[in-house]
């Protein structure tokens, strides 16, 4: 059961950003590359889900969710494209991702003892580590923001193109290095923490802290992305 849940969560964390990108991005070589890399992952996950569905009747609900994830995340954008004639509005994307998260949470809310007693998800060290990791990523995002605010000066990029490109490159590398694990861990937490709130009576405070930190982390990422887009459009 633990292996099935880990694979389901890992697949979902991998597929959801691709699903979001495919829904709002016009068809190009980038979208083709997404399918090129993720279709083999989806096929492998589907075969694994079919095997668990046949051999382990108790895991059939989770196996169905694992089977449906690549079909929805990779297949639905094609259907939407053909019906809509192109990418969808951001509001539709947000609703779609929220629906998938709700379905995933329901799949994880199945009968499990991993949130109780000596279960893996009930382990206090694991939950504290998850909360600390979220907090560290949040601080890493806020650190350059705090430094910029402490400077008490307006922030602008150099007019020299070479100097500007160097600063943008360093900032982009830092942001990507922090954003990728932050998004992955936050998405996992959005699935995991609500389940813990229902299943683990002793760890509810920790799970609430995880959920709030993950939401704050995603909000910070959105704010940073918005600020970066403004700087790119108006370097001065």
Share of the chain above pLDDT 90, in %: 4
Residue 64 neighbours by CB distance under 10 Å:
14
CB atoms within 10 A of CB 209: 18
| H helix and E strand count, the chain | 8, 0
| CB 84 within 8 Å of CB 49 | no
By C-alpha distance, which of 50, 84, 91 is closest to 70?
50
Euclidean distance between the first and the last CA atom of the chain, given in angstroms as a whole number: 54
Supply 217's token pair: 């982390």
Quote the tokens at residue 56: 């382990």
pLDDT at site 193: 81
Dihedral angle computed from the Cα positions of residues 220, 221, 225 and 230, in that order, rounded to the nearest 10 degrees: 10
Angle at 22 between CA 34 and CA 215, to 5 degrees: 105
Q: Which of 228, 215, 208 is nearest to 185 (CA)?
A: 215
Dump pLDDT digits (tens) for 62-78: 888 888 888 888 888 88
pLDDT of residue 212: 92
Distance of alpha carbon 25 from alpha carbon 86, whole angstroms: 8
Of 38, 35, 62, 32, the C-alpha closest to 50 is 62
- pLDDT score for 66: 86
Rounded Cα distance between 236 and 233, Å, is 9
Q: Are 203 and 124 in contact (CB under 8 A)?
A: yes
Q: Which of 98, 130, 115 is nearest to 195 (CA)?
A: 115
| DSSP helix/strand/coil, 76 | helix
What does pLDDT average to over the chain?
77
- Residue 177's pLDDT band, with cuts at 50, 70 and 90, is confident
Grade residue 112 by pLDDT with cuts at 50, 70 and 90. low
User: What are the contacts of 58-63 at 24+ separation with CB within 8 A?
Assistant: 58/1, 59/1, 59/4, 61/107, 61/110, 62/1, 62/4, 62/5, 62/8, 62/107, 62/108, 62/110, 63/4
181-230 pLDDT per residue, tens: 788 788 778 877 877 777 777 777 888 899 999 999 988 888 877 776 77
Give the pLDDT score at 196. Answer: 76
Q: What is the mean pLDDT of residues 119-144?
A: 81
Higher per-residue confidence, 115 vs 26: 26
Q: Which two tokens stand for residue 182?
A: 């932050």
């Amino acid at each position: 059961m633990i292996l099935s849940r880990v694979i389901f969560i890992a697949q979902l964390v991998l597929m959801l950003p691709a699903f979001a990108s495919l829904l709002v991005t016009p068809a190009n070589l980038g979208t083709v590359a997404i399918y090129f890399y993720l279709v083999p992952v989806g096929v492998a996950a589907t075969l694994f889900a079919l095997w668990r569905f046949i051999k382990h009747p108790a895991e059939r609900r989770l196996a169905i969710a694992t089977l449906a994830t690549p079909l929805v995340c990779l297949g639905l954008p094609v259907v939407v494209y053909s019906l809509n004639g192109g990418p969808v509005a951001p509001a539709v994307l947000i609703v779609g991702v929220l629906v998938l998260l709700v379905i995933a949470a329901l799949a994880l809310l199945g009968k499990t003892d991993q949130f109780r007693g000596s279960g893996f998800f009930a382990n206090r060290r694991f939950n504290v580590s998850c909360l600390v990791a979220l907090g560290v990523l949040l601080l890493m995002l806020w650190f350059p923001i705090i430094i910029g605010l402490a400077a008490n000066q307006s922030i602008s990029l150099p007019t020299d193109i070479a100097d500007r490109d160097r600063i943008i490159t360093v900032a982009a590398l830092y942001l990507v290095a922090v954003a990728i694990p932050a998004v992955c861990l936050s998405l996992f937490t959005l699935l995991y923490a609500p389940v813990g709130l229902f299943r683990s009576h002793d760890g509810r405070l920790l799970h609430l802290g995880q959920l709030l930190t993950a939401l704050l982390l995603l909000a910070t990422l959105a704010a940073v992305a918005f600020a970066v887009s403004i700087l790119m459009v108006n370097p001065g």
